[in-house]
């Protein structure tokens, strides 16, 4: 097969599979935020990638501070929390100023948030410069370990995966096992009825949107461990993460996880055997064709509309 | 005959507006601007084709395609492939390892012309493909999506993904498409040098006339019964479906028409500017073209043309002097148009124009005179 021995192919599969897992983690974190905003509220947030970049820049900024105060070992946990909070607050403000006026016009939301993403990109460029910057990573995140000869597994990948796992579980618990999540789901299923039983639906909208943005911020913090950050970093992932959400079935958490996994794995394994661009083309093309045949996505929500 | 002209021009009001646009594009601008600036206008006019197609598709049909750049690009590429083959005849490419094939193929160690380049050796076939390829793609996408009742934001996202696929494909397959540089060094169209000044003037006039024709064609579609159905589908799709109309085939039709109009723009772009590159195919140009239509007014064919011209003039002006400011402005424009002026320039015009029309100014003046004379008595 392509001139490799069976053992080599096996090792390549494992290693590419693992690098696919890092991509999967970032995509999943991005898509979780989007799935909440798009799946629950029906709002297309084209600036979602920029909220991720906000998280990434927050981490980079904090890492520079951490180097000055010599706390590189432990700052990362705080960076994740800070990234979440800053993206959350920003999302909250954006919802209040912009999104809430556009709920009845989903296509227009798409254009307005695209405009927002352009403005945010320029803000990043003016503040942090056009060059890509990377965070100072604590030592325990660097390096890799070798379970067997020929297989290298980077630690930052494992860390990002663990983070994605934690966030996913928290999102699940919040959405399906807490009062807050109950309010969100009630509002999205029947806004008028939810209002009638005493839920402040406008407040719910705002918090839901902000939460989605906050998770994108965490995705940004995770992103800094595997790559460097530039002003347009977020926009590179926006189409992919939308594909993840749509492919998985907009309102389904399981679907989002499954499709993030499928897309990330397909992309990273195909990119090894074909050229990088053809791997991406093949993956996207497959998704589009599947979506054309099955528009409701992999896991369709069984809700009557 | 009378009814036909009524439909093509859109009544007296529409005819006046169309005539003003035609005079502006065909007489005033060519007289006022030097050839360089006129070339820029010509470039913007090719974008206006896309803006018009979006007025049909998005403003009237309620279907927002974020992949119109892909049809623009396909039309442009088909034209460019013909011109490139003509520019790479065996004599002028004799220094290559394989003479007679485009230079970028030679650089990429390709020794024979790929099969899909073959049809572009003939001009009639090329002209057919300029329209045919984008329409076919639109038909396939439309068939797959609209018959399964995919609409709204899903359609937008999927068209965007397809535009992304196409642009990655073009950039990635450098040997067959010219890669990120696109197809450059185009020289002649059937022996006619397109780089001379007179050719540039000719192409500008052909381009502007085609735009006027496309506006008339779109008017014809919109004022027909089909146009009414289109509006009805945008506002209450279910009702149209329950009234017994086949919503999907109407949508496919308008999507194909929109693709065709965009493709004409793309082909004219190639002829006037002399190259085609993947930077017109991907996500960013496609969504920028939506803002042209939105600024002009998503419901107004003529407004969309003005919107395109204005936004692009602004872009050229600002990105020459303050490139940083431009992205802020562009982003702000997206937000402002959507939030405060959803009807765009055409909406503003319709709201305030009656106030400034001669008859209304006259009546207000009369009233003022009467009031003054009443007070003096």
Residue range B237-285, pLDDT digits in tens: 889 999 999 999 999 999 999 999 999 999 999 999 888 988 888 888 8
pLDDT at residue B55, as a whole number: 93
**CA separation, residue B62 to residues A239, B290, B372 (Å):** 22, 13, 51
Neighbours of B90 (CB within 10 A): 11
Q: Is B47:B289 a contact under the CB 8 Å cutoff?
A: yes
Residue B103: CB partners within 8 Å, gap ≥ 6?
B88, B93, B96, B185
Q: What are the counts of helices (DSSP H) followed by strands (DSSP E) for chain B?
A: 18, 2
The first and second tokens of residue B96, run together, are 């290559």
- Could you give the percent of chain B with pLDDT greater than 90? 36
Say what the pLDDT of residue A83 is: 94
Cβ-defined contact of A288 to B158 (cutoff 8 Å):
yes
Angle between helices B152-172 and B123-146 (to 10 degrees): 140
Secondary structure of A35-74 as H, E, C letters = HHHHHHHCCCCCCHHHHHHHHHHHHHHHHHHHHHHCCCCC
Interface confidence (ipTM) of the complex: 0.86
User: Is A242 in Cβ contact with B161 (below 8 Å)?
Assistant: yes
Tell me, what's the pLDDT at A302?
54
- CA A303 and chain centroid, separation: 25
Give chain B positions within 8 Å (CB) of A239. Answer: 160-161, 164, 283
Q: In the predicted model, is pLDDT for residue B46 greater than 90?
A: yes
Q: Which residues of B touch A114 (CB under 8 A)?
A: 287, 334
Domain boundaries along the sequence of chain B: 2-342, 349-377
Tokens of B224: 């027909």
Task: Write the residue in A102, A239, A280 that is nearest to B160 by C-beta.
Answer: A239
pLDDT tens for each residue of B166-201:
999 998 888 888 888 888 888 888 788 888 888 889
Report the C-alpha gap between A117 and B328 in whole angstroms. 10
Report CB contact under 8 Å: A288, B161.
Answer: yes
Name the A residues in 266-295 with CB < 8 Å from any B CB: 275, 277-278, 280-281, 284-285, 287-288, 291-293, 295
How much is the pLDDT for A84?
Answer: 95
Asked whether A115 and B333 are in contact (CB, 8 A), the reply is yes
Residues in B closer than 8 angstroms to A116, CB to CB, are 331, 334-335
| Distance in angstroms (rounded) separating the CA atoms of residues B269 and B323 | 24
pLDDT one-digit tens code per residue, B280-311: 888 888 988 998 999 988 888 999 999 999 99
In a domain, A202, yes or no: yes
CA distances from A295 to A106, A291, B60 (A): 18, 5, 24
- B24-28, B67-71, B301-305: the lowest-pLDDT one: B24-28
**Smallest Cα–Cα separation from A239: which of A298, A297, A208, A283?**
A283
Q: A282 contacts in B (CB within 8 Å)?
A: none
Q: Give chain B's end-to-end CA distance (angstroms, integer).
A: 56
Q: How far apart are CA A297 and CA B230, in angstroms?
A: 28
What's the CA gap between A210 and A98, in Å, rounded?
A: 13
List the domain range (segments joined by +) for residue A168. 24-236
pLDDT tens, residue by residue, A64-107: 888 888 777 778 888 999 999 999 999 999 999 998 888 888 88
State the pLDDT at residue A76. Answer: 84
CA distance B260 to B134: 6
* Structural element, H or E, at residue B60: none
| Cβ atoms of residues B72 and B277 within 8 Å | no
Answer whether residue A144 is part of any domain: yes
Please tell me the distance from the alpha carbon of residue B232 to that of residue B246, in angstroms, as a whole number: 13
Selecting from B164, B294, B331 the residue whose C-beta is nearest the C-beta of A284 gives B164
Look at residue A267 and tell me if it is in a domain: no
Domain count, chain A: 1
DSSP letter (8 states) at residue B189: E
- What pLDDT does residue A305 have? 41
Residues of chain B whose C-beta is under 8 A from some C-beta in A? 58, 64, 141, 144-145, 148-150, 152-154, 156-158, 160-162, 164-165, 168-169, 171-172, 283, 287, 290-291, 294, 324, 327-328, 330-335, 337-339, 342
pLDDT in tens, chain A (305 residues): 456 777 777 777 777 777 778 888 888 998 898 888 887 788 888 999 999 999 999 999 998 888 888 777 778 888 999 999 999 999 999 999 998 888 888 888 888 999 999 999 999 988 888 888 888 777 777 777 776 666 677 788 888 888 999 999 999 999 889 998 899 888 888 889 999 999 998 999 899 999 999 999 999 998 888 888 888 888 888 888 888 888 887 667 888 888 888 888 888 888 777 777 888 888 888 888 888 887 777 776 554 44
Chain B touched by A9 (CB under 8 Å): no
Intra-chain end-to-end CA distance of chain A, in Å: 49
Residue B1 has pLDDT above 60, yes or no: no
Task: Give the three-state DSSP class for B287.
Answer: helix
Mean pLDDT, chain A, as a whole number?
85
Nearest to A47 by CA among A100, A101, A95: A95
Q: Average per-residue pLDDT in chain B? A: 87
């Amino acid at each position: 097969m392509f001139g490799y021995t069976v053992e080599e192919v096996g090792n390549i599969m494992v290693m590419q599979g693992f690098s696919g897992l890092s991509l999967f983690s970032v995509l999943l974190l991005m898509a979780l935020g989007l799935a909440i905003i798009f799946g629950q509220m029906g709002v297309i947030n084209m600036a979602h990638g920029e909220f991720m970049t906000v998280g990434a820049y927050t981490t980079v900024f904090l890492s520079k501070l951490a180097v000055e105060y010599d706390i590189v070992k432990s700052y990362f946990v705080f960076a994740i929390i800070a990234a979440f909070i800053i993206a959350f607050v920003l999302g909250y403000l954006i919802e209040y100023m912009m999104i809430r006026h556009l709920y009845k016009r989903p296509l227009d939301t798409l254009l307005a948030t695209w405009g927002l993403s352009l403005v945010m990109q320029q803000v990043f460029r003016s503040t942090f410069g056009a060059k890509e910057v990377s965070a100072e990573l604590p030592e325990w995140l660097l390096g890799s370990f070798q379970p067997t000869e020929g297989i290298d597994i980077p630690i930052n990948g494992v860390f990002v995966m663990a983070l994605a796992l934690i966030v996913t579980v928290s999102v699940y618990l919040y959405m399906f096992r807490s009062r807050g999540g109950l309010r969100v789901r009630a509002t999205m299923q029947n806004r008028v009825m939810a209002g009638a039983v005493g839920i402040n639906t406008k407040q719910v909208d705002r918090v839901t949107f902000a939460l989605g943005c906050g998770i994108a911020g965490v995705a940004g913090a995770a992103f800094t461990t595997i790559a460097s950050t530039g002003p347009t970093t977020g926009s590179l992932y926006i189409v992919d993460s939308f594909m993840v959400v749509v492919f998985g079935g907009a309102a389904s958490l399981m679907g989002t996880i499954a499709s993030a996994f499928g897309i990330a794995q397909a992309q990273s394994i195909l990119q090894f055997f074909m050229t990088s661009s053809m791997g991406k083309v093949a993956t996207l093309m497959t998704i589009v064709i599947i979506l054309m045949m099955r528009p409701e996505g992999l896991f369709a929500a069984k809700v009557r509309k | 005959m009378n009814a036909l002209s009524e439909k093509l021009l859109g009544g007296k009001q529409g005819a006046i507006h169309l005539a003003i646009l035609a005079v502006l594009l065909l007489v005033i601008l060519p007289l006022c601007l030097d050839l360089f600036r006129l070339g820029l206008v010509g470039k913007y006019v090719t974008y206006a084709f896309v803006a018009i197609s979006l007025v049909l598709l998005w403003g009237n049909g309620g279907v927002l395609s974020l992949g119109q750049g892909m049809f623009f690009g396909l039309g442009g590429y088909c034209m460019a492939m013909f011109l490139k083959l003509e520019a790479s005849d065996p004599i002028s490419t004799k220094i290559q390892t394989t003479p007679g094939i485009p230079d970028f193929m030679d650089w990429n160690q390709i020794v024979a012309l790929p099969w899909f380049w073959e049809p572009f050796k003939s001009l009639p076939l090329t002209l057919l493909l300029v329209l045919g390829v984008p329409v076919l793609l639109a038909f396939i996408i439309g068939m797959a999506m609209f018959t399964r009742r995919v609409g709204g934001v899903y359609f937008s996202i999927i068209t965007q993904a397809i535009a992304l696929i196409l642009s990655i494909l073009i950039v990635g397959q450098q040997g067959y498409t010219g890669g990120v540089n696109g197809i450059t060094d185009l020289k002649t169209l059937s022996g006619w040098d397109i780089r001379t000044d007179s050719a540039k003037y000719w192409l500008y006039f052909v381009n502007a006339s085609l735009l006027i024709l496309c506006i008339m064609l779109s008017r014809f579609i919109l004022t027909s019964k089909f146009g009414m159905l289109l509006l009805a589908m945008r506002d209450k799709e279910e009702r149209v479906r329950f009234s017994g109309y086949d919503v999907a085939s109407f949508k496919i039709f308008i999507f194909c028409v929109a693709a065709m109009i965009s493709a004409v723009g793309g082909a004219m772009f190639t002829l006037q500017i002399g190259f085609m590159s993947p930077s017109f195919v991907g996500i960013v140009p496609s969504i920028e073209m939506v803002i042209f239509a939105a600024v002009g007014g998503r419901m107004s064919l003529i407004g969309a043309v003005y919107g395109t011209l204005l936004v692009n003039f602004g872009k050229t002006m600002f990105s020459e002097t303050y490139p940083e400011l431009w992205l802020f402005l562009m982003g702000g424009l997206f937000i402002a148009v959507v939030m405060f002026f959803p009807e765009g320039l055409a909406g503003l015009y319709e709201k305030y124009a009656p106030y400034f029309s001669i008859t209304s100014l006259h009546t207000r003046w009369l009233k003022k005179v009467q009031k003054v004379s009443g007070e003096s008595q």
